[in-house]
Amino acid sequence: MKEMWDNRYAENEYAYGTEPNLFFKESLKKYKLEGKILFPAEGEGRNAVYAAKKGLKAYAFDISIKGKNKALKLAKKENVDLNYEVGDFLNLNLLNEKFDVAALIFAHFPPNILNKYHTKIAELIKPNGFIILEGFSTNHLELQKENTNAGGPKNIDFLFSIDMIKNDFPDFEILLLEEKEVVLDEGKYHKAKSKVIRFIGKKIR
Ligand SMILES: C[S@@+](CC[C@H](N)C(=O)[O-])C[C@H]1O[C@@H](n2cnc3c(N)ncnc32)[C@H](O)[C@@H]1O
């Protein structure tokens, strides 16, 4: 898994571009989010750099060192700071922090750790803090059959459903939870009609 991502990020181009994910960008603006923000599985840093440019204090983690290197390169170009760790989430220094927001943008974790990671991310959010999530839904597999360039994990156990989100984030008021068909246009790997789950939750306990 790690090797696959290191290989993808070894390319010169940014796999998902250098612009932030649109749903993330709009949500940040709509809810006027500020403070400390966590980016699980942040890859090459497009969302974290955007948040830092908007004045938030951005923390990110991933398993790919190549992703981190490209994220730091982008941060330097944009003249912002990122706190970016590589490794197993449950062993990272950022577990000592509490966050105002977590943004999970196509953060598709292996099924054996997914629920554990979601639970831990929820724990790290301050009361009244937010989770923003966009990721491929289980129904995205049908679109992958129609279009082999549709992107996203091929294994259904890596994909999201509305029930999974409700189950994983019980301490959050649901401000938005929907499955939506969208046309992604993010770098060369997310460029097609796609089915996504979108979630905005506010921590209530
Ligand atoms: C589709 S990319 C999304 C990257 C970024 N969030 C974005 O939207 O540009 C998925 C990311 O998940 C990361 N990843 C996969 N398994 C992981 C794990 N167990 N821990 C941390 N990151 C992981 C990959 O390295 C990759 O960067």
pTM, full prediction: 0.97
Both tokens of 167, joined, read 């189950």
CATH code of residue 98: 3.40.50.150
Residue spans of alpha helices (H) in the chain = 2-9, 22-30, 46-53, 65-77, 111-123, 140-146, 162-168
Amino acid at 77: K
Query: How many domains does one find in the chain?
Result: 1
Place of tokens 């009244």: 128
For residue 111, the enclosing domain spans: 2-203
Write out residues with Cβ below 6 Å of ligand 1. Answer: 1, 5, 16, 21, 41-43, 46-47, 62-64, 67, 89, 105-109
Give the residue from 133, 132, 141 showing the smallest Cα distance to 194.
141
pLDDT digits (tens, 9 = 90+) for 134-155: 999 999 998 998 887 788 999 9
- Helix/strand/coil for 1: coil
Is there a contact between 33 and 56 (Cβ–Cβ < 8 Å)? yes
pLDDT digits (tens, 9 = 90+) for 25-67: 999 999 999 999 999 999 999 999 999 999 999 999 999 999 9
